[in-house]
Amino acid sequence: MSAGIYLFCLTPETTLPELKGTGIDGLHPLSAETIGDVAAIFSEVALEDFSGPEAQARMEDLAWIGPRALRHEEVIMAVMELGLVLPVRFGTVFSSLETMKEPLRRHRNILSEFFRETAGKKEWACRGYVNMPRARSQVIAARLAAEKEQLAGLAPGKRYFLEQRIKGAVNNEVASLLKGLGNDIATSLRELSAAFHERRFLAQEIMGRDEEMFFHVALLVPDGSVAALEGMTDEWNKLHEFQGISLELSGPWPPYHFAPVL
């Protein structure tokens, strides 16, 4: 069985933490290798687990990948608690220490810049959710109230058809409402963050909830701005709760969506 090098993350050599526990296979200990002023956190793994004809099947097996992905995140989070961290994607494996070192030497200027830009900052996720039946009912109620005088002056038949036309246009109005709210949220979040990254919406089945997602971003937030971010989110939710619309924050996380691709 050939041994490979599984890379978890990078951190400045000056903040290298004490490494405890094993790598993703539960057998090999965590280790560190310093390249210039950057330390690479890694462990040995069996190359056959990540390459070859059986590797693809393993990477699609949740029972196999789940605990390993969890350990991958645990190691990165432990490093983040003590200093700066550049998280590396799950499943990054090299054939030897030297092949791991080579790209890190080549990109040392990029790495130094990344650690300068992320100092004192963490990644946060912000998701916007909407209860569509509730949002539709609020839009319909608002439109009917706005057309109250006109509706009152119509004959019953004409009033019915106008009410139906108003109700038929509600989906477009809700979509327009959510788009406008999303733009307003993004403007506010950009003012509180050092970097902003739009993310794809997740299906309800994946989230395991009844609401639909209408907003999803990753933010690189200075530590001193977290309280303002949380306060803005709470205030926004108070204003829009009656519409079935809400924002949720999660974090802090390592800067997954702001790490350079090496």
Q: Which of 100, 119, 138 corresponds to the end of one domain?
A: 119
pTM for this entry: 0.83
194 and 82 in a single domain? The answer is no
pLDDT band, residue 17 (cuts 50/70/90): confident
113/146 same-domain check: no
pLDDT class for 181, splitting at 50, 70, 90?
A: very high
Strand partners, 198: 217
218 shares its domain with 98: no
Q: Given pLDDT bands bounded at 50, 70 and 90, which one contains residue 30?
A: very high
Q: Are residues 149 and 243 in the same domain?
A: yes
Q: How many domains does the chain have?
A: 2
Residues 162 and 182 grouped into a single domain: yes
- For residue 245, give its domain range: 122-258
Residue 85 shares a structural domain with residue 194: no
Based on the fold, state whether residues 147 and 250 are members of the same structural domain. yes
Considering 119, 150, 181, which residue would you say is the last residue of a domain? 119
Mean pLDDT of 199-209: 87
Is residue 164 domain-shared with residue 104, that is, in the same domain? no
9 shares its domain with 93 = yes
Token pair of 150, please?
């006109």
pLDDT reading at 93 higher than 70 = yes
Question: Do 157 and 208 have their domain in common?
Answer: yes
* Same domain as 162, residue 115: no
Alpha helices in the chain (DSSP H): 55-59, 62-80, 97-106, 108-118, 132-146, 148-152, 156-168, 170-192, 204-207, 226-240
Same structural domain, 128 and 248: yes
Residue 201 — pLDDT band, cuts 50, 70, 90?
Answer: very high
pLDDT for residue 148 is more than 80:
no
pLDDT, one tens digit per residue, over 225-261 is: 999 999 999 999 999 998 899 999 999 999 999 999 8
End position of a domain, from candidates 119, 147, 165 = 119
